[in-house]
Structure 1
Amino acid sequence: ERNDLSDKKQIQAVINHQALARLGLNATDIALNLRIAYTGETVTKVRYEDEEIDFIVSCKSEAVKDLDVVRNLLIPNARGDLIKLGTVVKFVPENGTPDYYHYNGNRAVIITADVDLDIVTPLEATNQVINHFKIKSNWPGMQLLIGGEAEETSQSLKSLAITMIVAVVGIYFLLILLFRSLLQPFLVISAIPFSILGVIIAYLLHGTPLSFTGMLGVIGLAGVVVNDSLVMVDHLNELRSVSPKANLIELVAQGSANRFRAIVMTTLTTVAGVTPTVYGLGGTDPFMAPMALSLGYGLVFATPLILFLVP
């Protein structure tokens, strides 16, 4: 739908000027009587105490809706004869004047549409519209501004991306305080990109678009993945401080074996907890399911990397 197409109807009064002159009337008489019929005319005013009341003469609103009634309205001419309005005026129904809208001072047309989510997402539909019209090359000087759900989704994803960056930077500085090192926090954070890779693969396998709540799940996933990686690196540092002269490879192997069960159990319990929400076991929740999908599959892909890549 577009907002510059009017569904309003109007009636144009077409005057027969020859008949008007022959019967001793003029256009002012026609306009005056039509205005009185539809909007009324104040004929006198009466004051009651401190209140002044207008007396208005007009036709009933229900009556003037019938054009036959309007055609039979009697208009006095200069000789005092009463002339039916339909004798000198022909009423022609036609479409009303459309409404005009402006955006930042420029003429604008707003087009709205509903999206069938079983076929396409709002973002995909928006991209198809932009690629189809090619505003810059085909209509120079014209602007195509996208609004609605696609705009809100784009803004939400941008704000979540900024939140994700702030969260990662905050985690990095906290890990600097913990490890007293500028490099070891990178070992812990290195698991985050691989967990995001798992999220992307999960959404591709399920044929589901990445939503706002799905991004919230990614942010929560970053905290869980960092926690598992932190347990591993911290334990390796502890072993190295106890046996500083031990072979590094053997030390890493021992530390990884010590933390293997704890990390795997953390992953299994978390995945087992979110799986019913992902697949709607016992009830579905369209808002929580994308978040659980991001968390569960991200952990599944990140855990092997924590156990092998980080050491």
Structure 2
Amino acid sequence: MLAYLVRRIINYLILTIIATLLAYILASYTLNPEARYLGRNPPLNQNSIHNILAGLGQDPSVPVIQRALTWFGNIIFHGDFGMMYNNQPVLHSIIVRSGISLQLLIVGTILGAFLGVVLGVWGAVRQYRASDQIVTALSFLVLATPAFVLGVLLMITATRFNAAVGHQVISFTGQYTPGLSGTGRILADRVSHLVLPSIALIMTGAASYSRYQRSVMLDVLASDFIRTARSKGRRRGSAMIRHGVRVALIPMSTFFAYNFGLLVTGSTFLETVFSWHGMGELALTSITNHDINGVSGSICYVAVLILIASTLSEVLYAALDPRVRV
């Protein structure tokens, strides 16, 4: 099992390296770092712009492939992702902002996946009944709603709720309220700011996972081993929980790993809506300012998260299916 995981991790690392290099190359061909220095008053001469870009490792006179290899070599040997357009180290910005983003992603991913699995199993067991129809309709409604629209609707709902209560129970601007003192007040304030963006991610994740889990569970319920378990005297609920759900979770582990990238993308827009200064904001500002290093570092961050999620899904897959361990 350990050798299997090591092989998979090596494969994922190679894919991460390829994705990061391709991101830098594509960003170099797509973005124009000179554009952010044009139109300034007083204007910068071409030599000054050239020197600034050369200091950032984005000298347009150097071939893109050479720049990409130099940039990646600095990562491997020095752990240096380069400097951003605002002269901040890319690695430092990733470390600071990733902690903010992971607060949303971890809560939203775990609760969204758990709720989606429960709703999917419930819908499969009660196929075509009123509860299944309601869950299906609400799931498709959430999936059809863009992440930023869902965030705005939640903000409107929270505003009306606060007005009805007469107190600011739910906050939705920023990560915290500055100037507070006391551990209890600070913790309550953090939770208050975390509620709405977490609900948005949980709703999106639950809607996606529930559709997939329902489809897989319906296939499992029609399998021979379920009928065999029932014929041996097991009750319907016991057969479904002990045999059906476990088998239905096996493909969900793979789906979870690859769906994690979509959650990262969705959180990008939610961070913008709720003014969270996380990796989503870093990626958007990097694109807006034609920052090649910032964009490449952000994509590397997403690739590493998907690598970790894929590795965890492999462990979960082996735990659910003994054949993988063999």
Please, what TM-score do these two structures have when normalized by structure 1? 0.25
**Which structure has the greater CA radius of gyration?**
1
TM-score normalised by L of structure 2: 0.24
- Higher-helix-fraction structure: 2
